[in-house]
Amino acid sequence: MAQWTDLLASPIIIVLALVIGTLGEVAKRTIRAKAGDKGWRGVYFVSLPAHPVLVGALVGLVPWLPTPDELVKPGHEFAARLGTGLLAGMVCKVGYDGIVSTAKRMLAGRAASDGE
């Protein structure tokens, strides 16, 4: 368990997750896709939940990407880079979903207490 904690707390994973999330938010606000859109915007909207992981996979293709020591195995450098990108995308996705759901719960609780 300590190995997973060290891996998830790795500065490389955290920085990549923050970069992926920030750029994803910028793209989302720029494209402004919504439910019911046709064409590429409709595809963009439907596939939006998978974007952090997909972008993480693309980032993992960068040959000079540093990798956490926990993922490095001799002869498997590409797998380590790809794993780093994918894990950063998953951390971004789970972290964003956790923050958004917590904020919604807090706002709903506040609205309910204000209505009483």
* Run of H or E including 112: helix 77-115
Q: How far apart are CA 80 and CA 38, in angstroms?
A: 38
pLDDT of residue 103: 82
Q: How far apart are CA 8 and CA 13, in angstroms?
A: 7
| Alpha helices by DSSP H, 9-76 | 11-31, 40-47, 51-59
Q: How far apart are CA 24 and CA 55, in angstroms?
A: 9
pLDDT of residue 98: 86
Who's near 95: CB < 8 A, 6+ residues apart?
Answer: 17, 21
Kindly report whether the global pTM for this prediction surpasses the value 0.85.
Answer: no
DSSP, res 71? G
Per-residue pLDDT of the chain (116 residues; tens, 9 = 90+): 778 888 888 899 999 999 999 999 999 999 999 999 999 999 999 999 999 999 999 999 999 988 888 888 888 999 999 999 999 999 999 988 888 888 888 888 776 666 55
- For 87, phi then psi, to 5°, come to -65, -40
pLDDT of residue 9: 86
pLDDT of residue 99: 85
